[in-house]
Amino acid sequence: MPEQTLLLGQTLTFDADPFAAGPAAARHDGHGGVLIEGGHITATGSGNDLRRAYPGAQVVDYGDGVITAGFVDAHVHYPQTAIIASWGKRLIDWLNTYTFPEETRFNDPAYAARIAARYLDLTASHGTTTLCSYCTIHPASVDALFTEARARGQRVIAGKTCMDRNAPDGLRDSAQSAYDDSKALLEKWHGVDRLSYAITPRFSPTSTPGQLSALGALWAEYPDCLMQTHLSEQTDEIAWVKSLYPEARDYLDTYEAHGLLGARGLYGHAIHLEPRERARLAEVGAALIHCPTSNTFIGSGLFDMAARVAEGQRVGLATDTGGGSNFSMLRTMAAAYEIGQLTGTALHPAQLLWLATAGSAATLHMQDRIGTLAPGMEADIAVIDLASTPAIAQRAERAGDLWEALFPTIMMGDDRAIRATWVGGTLAHQR
């Protein structure tokens, strides 16, 4: 029989969406257990009951550590790992000053492989087990990330970033090469082990209408793929889009007119949306990916989570490395809370954790595989220490309930708060 591993600790997962059902959507067991076998969760419940039922299992006891689903980061740029936390630029200047020069380096497969490994090491140390990444225009950048993820048994979604204008020499493809390269990479990697391909136009300003149409045609050929892009991140970006696409009704229409609007579309940022855009996104069931540390770091604006949820939008959470200023989904939850305060709604810790796990998994259409602790799910797990620093410990010890104990870690935690990360049933990181 396959080896069984039993993790013991406080278990915390979700049966429903806490934005709809409130904190009661969470299922917490102060002395719970999670049984792992063959890379999947095969049983959950009382730790003592599972010990008795599976006496041959290898036991890993995390005491009062909180065992939760691994974090799901729904929008990242792994090629920006080395330029994270660069000073003082808004979006367009950021791209020209930092992003494009760094992405040019990814024509070197060895460099791409080195950064891919570094990025996955860093995210594992922060409890992230699934991510959806933009690569560069170079096919080697896609190969590097998928090769490294496959070696680790990790679930990763990624795609070649496509740009055929408003980018420097060495970072432009064409409508035809974007289609050809993307299709070849898709056929090479999509559905291999735990890997999925995402069709990836960077955003409308760096693609001609012809390129957007080519990628829309590719998506129509492979409708089970995700499509990821950026939407309405900054007001000057929106003005730029209007100048480049004068016939478009709005920013979203630049995608919609070329076959790039759908239920499996991921639209990063989506801060400054027009009423028509909001209505269409909700109508088709597309996903808006909230990137709070990035939105504040480069001055983009405040995403109104409560309003978007109230109008029926599907919302995920993401670090947006490296426009986002941290690799940590804990820090990202904290930033989402802070932005919620500024827009008039204090997000509950249950809502924040759900966004970082089950909520983001749902935006990736993978809620049947990742994002919760339940039998049959893939064994991607993070173990959180609720007393990882003296400042957090002294606050948590005064807590009256689980949420009051967890919230200081959300607000002040970092990689020290992650006791362990399990990827596909294998221990990938521990402190």
CB atoms within 10 A of CB 374: 16
**All structural domains of the chain:** 4-70+371-430 (2.30.40.10), 71-363 (3.20.20.140)
Pairing of the two strands 265-269 and 287-290:
parallel
What's the pTM? 0.97
Q: Give residue 370's pLDDT band: very low, low, confident or very high (50, 70, 90).
A: very high
Report pLDDT digits (tens) over 230-259.
Answer: 999 999 999 999 999 999 999 999 999 999
Report pLDDT digits (tens) over 150-171.
Answer: 999 999 999 999 999 999 999 9
Which sign does the torsion angle of CA 237, 242, 243, 248 carry? Answer: positive
The predicted pLDDT at position 2 comes to 59
3-state secondary structure the chain: CCCEEEEEEEEEEECCCHHHHHHHHEEEEEEEEEEEECCEEEEEEEHHHHHHHCCCCEEEEEEEEEEEECEEEEEEEHHHHHHCCCCCCCHHHHHHHHHHHHHHHHHCHHHHHHHHHHHHHHHHHCCEEEEEEECCCCHHHHHHHHHHHHHHCCEEEEECEECCCCCCCCCCCCHHHHHHHHHHHHHHHCCCCCEEEEEEECCHHHCCHHHHHHHHHHHHHCCCCEEEEEECCCHHHHHHHHHHCCCCCCHHHHHHCCCCCCCCEEEEECCCCCHHHHHHHHHHCCEEEECHHHHHHCCCCCCCHHHHHHCCCEEEECCCECCECCCCHHHHHHHHHHHHHHCCCCCCHHHHHHHHHHHHHHHCCCCCCCCCCCCCCECCEEEECCCCCHHHHHHHCCCCCHHHHHHHHHHHCCHHHEEEEEECCEEEEEC
Average pLDDT, the chain: 97
Report pLDDT digits (tens) over 71-127.
Answer: 999 999 999 999 999 887 777 888 888 899 999 999 999 999 999 999 999 999 999
Report pLDDT digits (tens) over 262-283.
Answer: 999 999 999 999 999 999 999 9
The predicted pLDDT at position 1 comes to 43
Report pLDDT digits (tens) over 162-207.
Answer: 999 999 999 999 999 999 999 999 999 999 999 999 999 999 999 9
Q: What percentage of the chain has pLDDT greater than the value 70?
A: 100
Higher pLDDT, 30 or 90: 30
The predicted pLDDT at position 303 comes to 98
User: Residue 133 in contact with residue 76, Cβ under 8 Å?
Assistant: yes
**Alpha carbon distance 375, 367 (integer Å):** 13
